[in-house]
Amino acid sequence: MTKTISAVRALIDTCNDAPLTHPELGHAVTTLCHSTPLKELIHTLIDTRAFSQELGYDFAAAGAIQGLSACRKLRSCLNLSLSSFFGLLAELIFAVDKSASSGWSKFASRLYQSNLGKTKLLDQLLQGEDAAYYRDLAVRLVDIDPHAIYPTSSYRESQGHVVSTPDDQTIEAVMTSSTFTSIKVLENSLDPSQTVLRDMYAATGRCVCLIDQNVERYYGEQIEYYFAHHSIHLDKLVYRAMEVDKGIHTVERMLGDFKRLGVSRNEPVLIIGGGVLTDTGGLACALYHRNTPYVMLSTSIVAGIDAGPSPRTCCDGFGYKNLFGAYHAPVLSITDRSFFKTLREGWLRHGIAEIIKMATVKNAELFGYLEEAGSDLITSRFGTLECEPGDRTSILSQKILGAAMRSYVEAEYDNLYETHQCRPHAYGHTWSPGFEIKAGLLHGHAVSIGMGFGAYLSHEQGWISADDFHRVLRLISSFGLSLWHNVLLDEETLWSAQEKMVQKRGNNLVAPLPKGEIGQCGYLHSLSRAELQQAIQGYQQVCFAYPRQGNGIDPLCRDVGLEDPSTVAHHIPAEPAMDYQDSPSEVLFGV
């Protein structure tokens, strides 16, 4: 058992309900803060290697992963307010021992509602008989671990080392940083009984929220009610989030709004929307104070399992997709399938492509879930329509979303700053960026074509069997996604796409393809122009044998109410009267 969990259990075992329920809150806080078990726990939390892999494994082995984020934040507990400290402590206790958590949660709620809760834990500790100990500890931490006493962010830490010549005319430095985030598949996140968002914002008493105007139309009142119910002031910033809005002008507007509202550098901004708002809002947070944390509540599938937890924030510029950007992951990413019930089938289909991507090259179990669920995922809106919680489709939907999220995060966060190009989550994204806009395709359909063609190349290389090759194509086709579009016959477009991707990937093709078997990935290093054209011709013949001759259902942007992306850059429309079911905020171009 990890030392931290042992210290939490010791606190639970030795602290009775008397101090937690004492009518005088000040007396209760004093009693708790100067108890030996809490003093020992504070010392343990400060000493915890909060960003270590071992701590994660320890919490997983103890079945307490839900408390890991709280434990990591509590490393800086001396700098926290009493309400934040006891709120996080209640989360940690809940993860370790649910039966003992009720009293601590109620106590934290009392502090949230009192002025005493704004007092810093260190200031409280300096008022007791151990004041000299904590004063000396604070002084020592400045030198040995400043992250624990004066953190800029509870979610990051950095280290570095320097060597220099004797005369200091040449200096060489190495810098490293660590960050942590939480990713959750959550049901009904806006139900007042669901406290994840409350716990993020209760201590500050305010939530600054960026929201897609189409999401606002359907869920605006529910969002307002949630925060009002928990007595948290809500500052709502509503933005249109169409593809034409994904420019630096939108980011600048967000930055201006942050300044007007006085957003502090350690105050998490809440972003509620799809891919466009995720990208632009995340970039605004990366730029503001150079590192403002944000929480992502995704309302679409693409955002929920790809763009939402992604550390890559961006906007378009000078006619190029995603030219400006920063690596800035959310501190909390929530995927809530209850939002999916208002999405049109075309958006569901488009989003499923990104799940198939991860299943094919990263997670064979996920691939099996998709085969089992089939088109019911679309008609039931991931188990949110005409499904009871225990229904087969509902259960499979939860498994699919969770497995897709884990697979994506494993691939993405292991290469946070894209320092190398062995990226399995780029499967289907080698040639598709070059033909997607020209063909007017939805991103998901462009990617599915890229995945089908990639599976063909893999089979031709002898990397996967014929059975696995056709399993991939059958799965793509079963969801009505495209295997083929005649744009593939445009030799110049395809070759130009490959050349540009080679440039982007450090002069290497590095095309991720399934290799060995489904759920595993390899990388194709070279493909000549002649080989590319020959492969396209062979792939076309294979596609003709599939339903609709390999064509998808509603594959074009205009099929789901969007403008043709090949012309939209030249025409920025007026404010649209658009239904959320038609919202393009889910679109995510590029990978």
> What's the per-residue H, E or C state across 382-405?
CCCCCCCCCCHHHHHHHHHHHHHH
C-alpha 262/C-alpha 233 separation (Å) is 14
* Residue among 382, 389, 207, 182 at smallest CA distance from 300: 382
Please report which helix (H) or strand (E) contains residue 435, including its range.
helix 432-439
Q: Please give the domain boundaries of the chain with CATH numbers for all domains.
A: 3-149 (no CATH), 182-342 (3.40.50.1970), 416-566 (1.20.1090.10)
Query: What does the block give as tokens for 549?
Result: 């001759």
Chain centroid offset of residue 71 CA: 20
Chain centroid offset of residue 334 CA: 7
- pLDDT for res 566: 65
C-alpha 36/C-alpha 47 separation (Å) is 17
Query: pTM to 2 decimals?
Result: 0.88
Q: How many CA atoms lie within 13 A of 419 on its CB side?
A: 5
User: Is there a contact between 359 and 447 (Cβ–Cβ < 8 Å)?
Assistant: no
User: Is there a contact between 257 and 264 (Cβ–Cβ < 8 Å)?
Assistant: no
- What angle do the packed helices 36-47 and 3-14 form, to 10 degrees? 160
User: Is there a contact between 561 and 583 (Cβ–Cβ < 8 Å)?
Assistant: no
Per-residue pLDDT of the chain (591 residues; tens, 9 = 90+): 578 999 999 999 888 778 898 999 999 999 999 889 999 999 999 998 999 999 999 999 999 999 999 999 999 999 999 999 999 999 999 999 998 888 899 999 899 889 999 999 999 999 988 899 999 999 999 999 999 999 988 899 999 999 999 999 999 999 999 999 999 999 999 999 999 999 999 888 899 999 999 899 999 999 999 999 999 999 999 999 887 788 999 999 999 999 999 999 889 999 999 888 999 999 999 999 999 999 999 998 888 888 888 899 999 888 777 889 999 999 999 999 999 988 888 889 989 999 999 999 999 999 999 999 999 999 999 999 888 888 999 999 999 999 999 999 998 888 888 888 899 999 999 999 899 888 989 889 999 999 999 999 999 999 999 999 999 999 999 999 999 999 999 999 999 999 999 998 989 999 999 999 999 999 999 999 999 999 999 999 999 999 999 999 999 988 887 767 666 544 443 333 233 333 333 333 233
C-alpha 5/C-alpha 54 separation (Å) is 13
- pLDDT for res 585: 36
Max CA pair span of the chain: 82
- What angle do the packed helices 364-373 and 345-362 form, to 10 degrees? 150
Three-class secondary structure of residue 286 per DSSP: helix
User: Is there a contact between 293 and 574 (Cβ–Cβ < 8 Å)?
Assistant: no
C-alpha 336/C-alpha 304 separation (Å) is 8
Radius of gyration of the chain (CA): 26
Please report which helix (H) or strand (E) contains residue 332, including its range.
strand 332-335
What is the strand order of the sheet 233-239 is part of? Answer: 182-185, 332-335, 294-298, 269-273, 206-212, 233-239
C-alpha 572/C-alpha 530 separation (Å) is 40
Which residue is associated with the tokens 């020592």? 140
C-alpha 223/C-alpha 238 separation (Å) is 12
User: Is there a contact between 191 and 336 (Cβ–Cβ < 8 Å)?
Assistant: no
* Residue among 264, 296, 267, 268 at smallest CA distance from 280: 296
- pLDDT for res 389: 81
- pLDDT for res 571: 44
Q: What is the 3-state secondary structure (H, E, C) of 151-213?
A: CCCCCEEEEEEEEECCCCCCEEEEEEEEECCEEEECCCCCCCCCCHHHHHHCCCCEEEEEEEH
Which residue is associated with the tokens 């809940």? 94
Q: Classify residue 59 as exposed, middle or buried by CB count within 10 Å of its CB (0-12, 13-18, 19+).
A: buried
What are the C-alpha distances in Å from 94 to residues 33, 67, 358?
19, 7, 33
C-alpha 122/C-alpha 149 separation (Å) is 9
